[in-house]
Amino acid sequence: MKIFFFSTLIIVISFTNGKFVSDENLRTEIIMKNIDACIKWDKNEPNPEPLLQKIRDCPCIIPTSFPKEIYDGAETWKTDAGCMASKQPKTCEYHKGAYGCYRHAFKSSGPGAQCCYDKAGNWMSDPFQGAGTLDRERAPDSILSLIQLKKHNDHDVIPWNNCCKNTGMAVDYCRLYFNKRPPGKCQNYIL
């Protein structure tokens, strides 16, 4: 790829397999690959119900101070580093519309819950508005947990990227992802 700068005009020339590809053709090719990967993932991905039964329900309401951790009376929820209220507005790329998210998992691998909240501390249930989602493989507590990080990326992040990230894709593909990675439920714990 070569980039030429002419005053304020930027021209990007892309080559694929030695042939010139226009930006629009390249964008279309990427979208088609993402759609294909999304459909294949959806067909191979199991029903999420058994996984939902293995995670804790989200707290329905959290303190508006968005503390680093929340104890729900039995379990501790940790701030999701990818969507921290303290880093607003430069956070929540995967949950646009959320103000802050928390994560919980019973084990160091396997399913986990991700719960996202609006600025008033109310649990969000619509993934198209920024709700958290079920993780088939929980996000690791540390970036140094490379095996768990790979599992989480393979099962949860890459499928989201293929089904939802590209704004040129129809919302139906993102819906495929959210059908397999629903937000779960909330419960009125006494915090």
Confidence band, pLDDT 50/70/90 cuts, at residue 15: very low
Q: Alpha carbon 47 to chain centroid distance?
A: 18
pLDDT value at residue 143: 81
β-pair partners for 115 = 102
Single pTM value for the model:
0.84
pLDDT value at residue 29: 85
Largest CA distance in the chain: 62
β-pair partners for 4 = 11
Please tell me whether residues 66 and 37 are part of one structural domain: no
Number of domains in the chain: 2
Q: Compute the distance between CA of residue 179 and CA of residue 42 in angstroms, rounded to an integer.
A: 9
Please tell me whether residues 172 and 136 are part of one structural domain: yes
Domain that holds residue 32: 2-44
Percentage of residues in the chain with pLDDT exceeding 70? 87
CA separation, residue 140 to residues 50, 62, 82, 181, 183 (Å)? 21, 23, 12, 17, 19
pLDDT digits (tens, 9 = 90+) for 31-65: 899 999 999 999 999 999 999 999 999 999 999 99
pLDDT, mean over the chain: 88
DSSP letter (8 states) at residue 34:
H
Please tell me whether residues 32 and 56 are part of one structural domain: no
Please tell me whether residues 53 and 38 are part of one structural domain: no
pLDDT value at residue 2: 42
